Structure 1
Amino acid sequence: MPSCVLAYSGGLDTSVILGWLQDQGYDCHCVYVDVGQPCEDRQAILKKAHDCGAKSARIVDVQEEMCRDFAFPVVQWQAKYEGIYLLGTSIARPIIAKACLQVAREVGAEAFAHGATGKGNDQCRFQLAAEALDPTVKIIAPWRMANFRATFPGRTEMIAYCAEKNIPVKASTSKPYSSDENCLHISYEAGELEEVDNCGVTIPDFGMTVSPQAAPDKTEQVTIGFEAGLPVSVNGKKLSSLAIVQKLNEIAGRNGVGRIDIVENRFVGMKSRGVYEAPGITVLYAAHLQLEQLTLDRDLVNLRDRIAPEVARDVYYGFWYTAKMDALLAFIREAQQPVTGEVTLGLYKGTIEVHGRKSPNSLYDAAIASMEGGGSYDQTDAEGFLRLQGLPGRVQGTVRPRKY
């Protein structure tokens, strides 16, 4: 029998897909890739997969790797898709594909199956990542297959199929929205959120942040330490990459920091409304930027800022395992070498204030920048500087007089 690896969550969609793949003659190896999604009993998910006929089932925990090798380099780039979205789901998909492909190689499976729809971005991220890692892999995306959609036009048919096959699922035929969670963020979309004039802070039952109105009436300070642009500590305590994200999720979340509402442009072309909460990563972006202002020179930051939107697009689209991304990650590792130090932020009812910043590599020199008299800056030097800067304008003004 042909065999495939299925990115398996144990929810309605992947439970149905597991049964359907077996109906098509596949041996299925289920892989629950742990990226920090909520789950009361992961062993129960594996048992369910076995009970439903999976050839094998396993859990692969990639949370530390995802924070260290995927999320933190994106923070170093200050990459935000369309200037807002912090890429929490986009970052998770290539490492899920990687984990599934590693299992496929181990068990000798020739195909990789996933439950992403044919309308969304995740199908792109899964496929582009998988094919880059193994160009020979067969991708099975049931939601893009006409016979699967004909069999399961909606949730009612999926629930009925599970009842017929004795597949236990917790699902209802209608939901006000859908959500996807990992250790970096939670995304909310679909359902009532598809009406873009609906208020995005009143529909989701937020899981990582309190509302700013319910946050404490007192500012909470948090100090984040960086080495070469990578977060290494919170409030003076050295922590693993995952522990840093988790700690900042806790601190920022209780202060109502990190909610985002965006109408974004999906890779496949349509616009989509999403509501996100990413408390810890929001704080990391803010702290990292403040430290860069001390430690990086103007031209390097300007170059990074010109490229960052392209990095964000490539991550969002799913082009993680490419020569271009390899080069971009190598560039940012080198560019971030001086970004070492600490930043103290004040969190208050959804807002972030800068309370302090320091670095052994600071380029800020008060003697030069001071507006007081004296110092090491000779103001007369500006005369020649501005004469040279203004030379092209003066020549143009002579040849092409402007009306004023």
Structure 2
Amino acid sequence: MASAGGPSGVVGISVRPDSSAACLFQKVGARSNSLPGAAPVQVRRCHNKARNGQAIRCAMATGKEQGAVTTASSDQHKGGLRGKLNKVVLAYSGGLDTSVIVPWLRENYGCEVVCFTADVGQGAIELEGLEKKAKASGACQLVVKDLREEFVSEYIYPCLRAGAVYERKYLLGTSMARPVIAKAMVDVAKEVGADAVAHGCTGKGNDQVRFELTFYALNPELKVVAPWREWDITGREDAIEYAKKHNVPVPVSKKSIYSRDRNLWHLSHEGDILEDPANEPKEDMYMMSVAPENAPSEPEYLEIGIIAGVPVSINGRDLSPASLLAELNEIGGKHGIGRIDMVENRLVGMKSRGVYETPGGTIMAAAVRELEALTLDRETMQWKDMVALKYAELVYAGRWFDPLRQSFDAFMENITATTTGSVTLKLYKGSVNVASRKSPYSLYREDISSFENGEIYNQADAEGFIRLYGLPTRVRAMLEKGI
């Protein structure tokens, strides 16, 4: 399932309705209902306690909308085909699957459906017309939250600082996005008084685990509904037929031959010809980066400022986490950086093939790794690399809120406290190479590393060191030769 998202710059808004009328959410600053073709509505504003200072507003509908909600309210009282739920918060993208899930939840659980959309940087195209689609599908509310800064600072940066990479290549783009979305869903469920949450992940993928482990960790009392594991819909044609039967407008957007997931960190591609690992990806598949051979013929140098293991600036300009990553995506994509083609082991046991574009993330990871070469000693670096492997596995498996990952995070934060300085990188036709490293905490000493003799390191001392260090090797050889 594509990640649920929300329009750029839209503040999250939600309320607990104080009547049975449908709640139609407006963007902050809107003067009236913005739904195309909607009947005029009278607006009564109601205020609940806002989280993180976000505005909360509610428009109460009358007329035709009022009649539509009366039906939903009736469904709520009598229950559904599979049981009874009061209100469900659904991770909503506006595509065919999630549009169909809305009436399916109402039919099978007799509940109100609150659609939730998170903006994690998937782009404006995926976020257009969501309010209209949600209402047309039968939802009583659409809640939108901009999670971009939180996503980068609280999820991406800890993984970056840890050096977490899954199976040698994957920079965990989707794995990091799911817990931030699921956490927001738990918050929204509390705000609107929902007793359940739902997602549109299939029963074959990793995302179902990532969503549900977050739900369990943050609110184990919430019921979880996963329609793909329950319903009889088996494919796109079944979903279209169900939509027509329940008067749900079928999304008219062009169906991609690839399954894609996009956020501020990466863009993934799966399906179609990629299902055969022998097939080379087609160039027209890529969306965030140019082919390296078509990148500029002149290299570009970037100075990345880093404090305590996380980037803070580009060429001396301080930027917010999300702004910094967005800018590096543009620069890296222009130079064809960050393309990865891999076969990975899914958590559920099967192998899958995916192609990932992570231009900005690839640049960030290279910069942090190169600075660590100055600031970490050998033993610390080796332990960090070992812990990073397990850290990546936990994130990939959806165990973001596990005490073990949180403990690993405390370890990473402590040992990278001195990973501060700057790294200058050379970007050229798909490659990222280090040109310069500087840190006030550098463990590199020119007076020690120089080939010239110095006061701290006497080359003659190496003889005794080698004799002692090589003693086990000599003893073994003496035994073999009968000495």
TM bucket by the smaller chain?
A: over 0.9
Q: 1:204 to 1:136 in 2, by over 3 A?
A: farther
Counterpart Cα distance in 2 of 1:166 and 1:35: 27
| Counterpart mapping for 1:296-375 below 5 A | 296-374=376-454
Q: SS in structure 1 opposite 2:124?
A: coil
Query: Do the aligned partners of 1:175 and 1:191 also contact (CA within 8 Å) in 2?
Result: no
Query: Do the aligned partners of 1:83 and 1:309 also contact (CA within 8 Å) in 2?
Result: no
**For residue 221 of structure 1, what is the aligned residue in structure 2?**
301
**For residue 102 of structure 1, what is the aligned residue in structure 2?**
187
1:282-332 Cα shifts (integer Å, max 9, x gaps): 001101010000111111000011111111111111110011011011111
Alignment pair present for 1:84 and 2:169: yes
Q: 1:204 to 1:22 in 2, by over 3 A?
A: farther
Q: Which amino acid aligns with 2:275?
A: E
Partner of residue 9 from structure 1, selected from 90, 93, 112:
93
| Counterpart mapping for 1:27-106 below 5 A | 27-40=112-125, 42=127, 44-106=129-191
Query: Do the aligned partners of 1:4 and 1:29 also contact (CA within 8 Å) in 2?
Result: yes
**For residue 183 of structure 1, what is the aligned residue in structure 2?**
264
Q: Which amino acid aligns with 1:264?
A: E
Taking structure 1 as the reference length, the TM-score comes to 0.94
Partner of residue 292 from structure 1, selected from 372, 384, 388:
372
Query: Do the aligned partners of 1:193 and 1:203 also contact (CA within 8 Å) in 2?
Result: no
Q: 1:41 to 1:132 in 2, by over 3 A?
A: closer
Q: 1:370 to 1:343 in 2, by over 3 A?
A: same
Query: Do the aligned partners of 2:304 and 2:424 also contact (CA within 8 Å) in 1?
Result: yes
Taking structure 2 as the reference length, the TM-score comes to 0.79
1:45-86 Cα shifts (integer Å, max 9, x gaps): 023212322121111111111111111111111111001000
Counterpart Cα distance in 1 of 2:286 and 2:153: 25
**For residue 199 of structure 1, what is the aligned residue in structure 2?**
280
CA deviation after TM superposition for structure 1 residue 372, in Å: 3.2
CA deviation after TM superposition for structure 1 residue 41, in Å: 7.5
Counterpart Cα distance in 2 of 1:182 and 1:204: 19
**Which structure's CA Rg is the greater one?**
2
Counterpart Cα distance in 2 of 1:340 and 1:256: 28
Between 375-384 and 188-197, the greater mean CA deviation after superposition: 375-384
Partner of residue 162 from structure 1, selected from 232, 235, 243:
243
Alignment pair present for 1:263 and 2:343: yes
Between 175-184 and 157-166, the greater mean CA deviation after superposition: 157-166
1:253-284 Cα shifts (integer Å, max 9, x gaps): 10000000000000000000000000000001
Counterpart Cα distance in 1 of 2:399 and 2:418: 28
Counterpart Cα distance in 1 of 2:344 and 2:157: 23
Query: Do the aligned partners of 2:88 and 2:114 also contact (CA within 8 Å) in 1?
Result: yes
**For residue 314 of structure 2, what is the aligned residue in structure 1?**
234
Q: Which amino acid aligns with 1:69?
A: E
Q: 1:247 to 1:191 in 2, by over 3 A?
A: same
**For residue 208 of structure 2, what is the aligned residue in structure 1?**
123
Counterpart Cα distance in 2 of 1:75 and 1:389: 36
Q: SS in structure 2 opposite 1:368?
A: helix
CA deviation after TM superposition for structure 1 residue 205, in Å: 2.5
CA deviation after TM superposition for structure 1 residue 43, in Å: 6.4
Between 130-139 and 323-332, the greater mean CA deviation after superposition: 130-139
Gaps of 5+ in 2: 1-75, 77-84
Q: 1:178 to 1:125 in 2, by over 3 A?
A: same
Query: Do the aligned partners of 2:100 and 2:137 also contact (CA within 8 Å) in 1?
Result: no
Counterpart Cα distance in 1 of 2:180 and 2:92: 14
1:101-123 Cα shifts (integer Å, max 9, x gaps): 10011112111100000000101
Query: Do the aligned partners of 2:314 and 2:324 also contact (CA within 8 Å) in 1?
Result: yes
CA deviation after TM superposition for structure 1 residue 22, in Å: 1.4
CA deviation after TM superposition for structure 1 residue 393, in Å: 2.7
Counterpart Cα distance in 1 of 2:128 and 2:189: 21
Query: Do the aligned partners of 1:229 and 1:288 also contact (CA within 8 Å) in 2?
Result: yes
Counterpart Cα distance in 2 of 1:237 and 1:171: 39
Q: Which amino acid aligns with 1:256?
A: G
Q: Which amino acid aligns with 2:148?
A: Q
Counterpart Cα distance in 1 of 2:397 and 2:284: 25
1:213-254 Cα shifts (integer Å, max 9, x gaps): 111001011111000111110111000000110010011110
Percent identity reads 47
**For residue 62 of structure 2, what is the aligned residue in structure 1?**
none
Q: 1:37 to 1:399 in 2, by over 3 A?
A: same
Higher relative contact order at CA 8 Å, sep ≥6: structure 1 or structure 2?
A: 1
Counterpart Cα distance in 2 of 1:79 and 1:238: 25
Q: 1:294 to 1:100 in 2, by over 3 A?
A: same
Q: 1:303 to 1:64 in 2, by over 3 A?
A: same
1:318-347 Cα shifts (integer Å, max 9, x gaps): 110011011011111111101000001011
Q: SS in structure 2 opposite 1:364?
A: coil
Gaps of 5+ in 1: none
CA deviation after TM superposition for structure 1 residue 350, in Å: 0.3
Counterpart Cα distance in 1 of 2:169 and 2:346: 14
Counterpart Cα distance in 2 of 1:268 and 1:215: 38
Query: Do the aligned partners of 1:176 and 1:192 also contact (CA within 8 Å) in 2?
Result: no
